[in-house]
Chains A and B, each alone.
Chain A
Amino acid sequence: MHPLGVTMPLSAELFLQQFITGLSSGFVLFILASGLALIFSVLGVLNFAHGSFYMVGAFMASTIVGLLAKTGVSFWPALVFGPFVIAILGGVTEIVLLRRLYVRGLLYQLLLTYGLILVFLDVTKAVWGPRPRTIPRPFGLEGWVSFGGANFPSYSLFLVVMGVLIYFLLVGILKRTQLGLRIRAAASSGEMVSALGINTPRLFSLVFFIGCWLAGLAGALAAPVGSISLGMDASMIIKCFIVIVVGGMGSLFGALIGALIIALVEAYAILFFPEFSIVCIYIIMALVLLIRPWGICGKPLIER
């Protein structure tokens, strides 16, 4: 048990190291949360099962890595193909199960995604077994990079790069493509979209597909860090949820800011209050809820 208070002398090195740690986990969290935010702004559904897709993504990556262990390059195929498997899983789920519930109302959709959590949890246990597993960092990224007088895991830097790339990829899609235009239209007004002749069911499926792809990608990226276990879904969905509450419901930039704030707060809080780091995050969420309940980048809703 750590006593409350600074456990080691705070040096510039440590500061910088925690910064990179926070940044890298923040970007993975962003990738996951962006999927959730996307699904939420277009479909209006809070996908409770998003953490489950993430978890399955991590396990899937471990399987692909295992299959290709003999070749020298096992991680990269996992990173490229894994998310698509998850995305297909998500797309099928949406078409078969979720679509029928759009007429029934939001409540039923929420309950369905909750049911999915239960199903995914046991299916994952059945397929991959109850014990946590790990996969090694990919070849070339196992080492350390040093600058500023400190050492940083190369993989963490890789995660940061990936996160930034995904952010610009998403922004690019939203701002410059037909699909992005449709997504933005749907995000600002659901009813208008079908009136405009946009094929709503197909758009919804596509967005859910992309959202799950992002979840799978986050899972694959997170797989070499720490362990892959059955509880991953619960811890991540809570954090993800906090991110979009803090960052703004339905805002991509908000998801980025929210994720980075949460991850950095956690990274630094662990230094000072290891027992209460999670409380710090909740305090931030509380502050946002009290002062600006629609999130930092969210649009204030008319109170009627």
Chain B
Amino acid sequence: MAELLFWPVLVCYGEAAVGYLGDARRPGVAGRVATWGVRVGWLVQTALLAVQAAREAGFPWATWAGSLNLFVWLVVGAYLIWGCRKPYRLLGLGVMPLAAALFVVARAGGGTGVGTRSHYSNVFLVLHVGLVLAAFAGFTLAAALSGLYLWQERRLKRRVTTILRRPAPSLATLDRLAGRTVAFSLPALTLGIAVGIVRLVDNGDRVDALVAATLVTWLVWAAYVVLRVVRDWTGRRAAYLALAGFMLVILVRLALPATHFT
């Protein structure tokens, strides 16, 4: 059943990615169809996760691929908060191709199926994996907002003549939304890391590369918040910092999983 649900999700997310590309070229129907693709795809993925949860006695997304599946669901869910609104459709051009690609990777790793139960307790996994992934989903969205900010700022700086024919969200709005998203996500990451470190110390395990990279990621995003508040780092500088933080999120999600998921 879970495997059967994979394909409609992929079709919907793929359609949304292509639709948003079409919408960027000629705004209109393609964008609306893409947004429906995101909505339907996310609902079907929710059903897929529900089937996985029902089939397993415990937390089913403890593996690297399983957590990637959950991560995609969180990212698309976070995007849906704004993505349904017309000015934010451009954001979908960044988010949906990434979501579709990561979803395929999750399937290749067996993360969309069943039978992946971990030996860790459910409470620990929900707190640790759930919070870290929710924070990463927030950071991904913040990075997409920051990317859109830089694109919009470039258009304003270069005085692109089509700027009013294809309006994007304002610089102030994008900057504010990115800042708020990070402000909500950072406490989740802090708590998720704290739970993981407590377990690490209890088990007498060593800090692996993934834990170290996650701590660096936390530092970058914490710097984002602090510099924003203390040094008025908004706008372009904050956007570049958010993109740097996102690179670390990608590194943590994709490049260093082998050392951590056992």
Q: Do chains A and B stick together as partners?
A: no
Residues on B close to A: CB < 8 A?
Answer: none
Chain A residues near B (Cβ < 8 Å) = none
